[in-house]
C-alpha cells in the first residue's frame, strides 16, 4: 500500500515511479474537484494506476455521498480487462 496525496492506494504490485506520478496528479485533481488531462504511454499500467487511485479515493470519500466513478475506455476490447 502506498500513500499518494494522503490516500492509501493498494496497488496489486510494486508500482513504477511513473505510475505513482500519474496517481499523484489524478488524486490531486480529484481532491480539488478539478478536471485533468493526463498523458501516459501505452503499456505502462495507466488503467491500473487510474482505477486503483480512483477507487481508493472513492472508498475513503465517505464525506462525499454523491461521489461516483465513471470509467471511460476508448477501446472496446479493453473493457473486459477492467471488469
pLDDT digits (tens, 9 = 90+) for 28-62: 988 888 888 887 777 778 888 888 998 888 887 76
pLDDT score at 62: 67
Picking from 5, 42, 41, the residue whose alpha carbon sits closest to that of residue 23 is 5
pLDDT score at 67: 63
pLDDT at 69 over 90: no
Domain extent listing, the chain: 2-82
- A 10 A CB-CB count for 15 gives 20
Model pTM? 0.74
pLDDT tens digits along 4-33: 988 899 988 899 898 999 999 989 988 888
Amino acid at each position: 500500500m502506498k500513500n499518494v496525496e494522503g490516500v492509501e492506494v493498494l496497488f496489486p504490485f510494486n508500482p513504477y515511479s511513473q505510475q505513482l506520478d500519474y496517481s499523484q496528479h489524478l488524486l490531486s485533481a480529484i481532491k480539488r474537484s478539478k478536471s485533468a488531462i493526463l498523458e501516459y504511454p501505452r503499456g505502462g499500467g495507466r488503467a491500473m494506476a487510474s482505477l486503483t487511485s480512483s477507487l481508493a479515493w472513492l472508498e475513503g470519500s465517505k464525506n462525499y455521498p454523491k461521489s461516483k466513478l465513471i470509467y471511460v475506455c476508448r477501446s472496446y476490447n479493453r473493457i473486459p480487462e477492467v471488469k
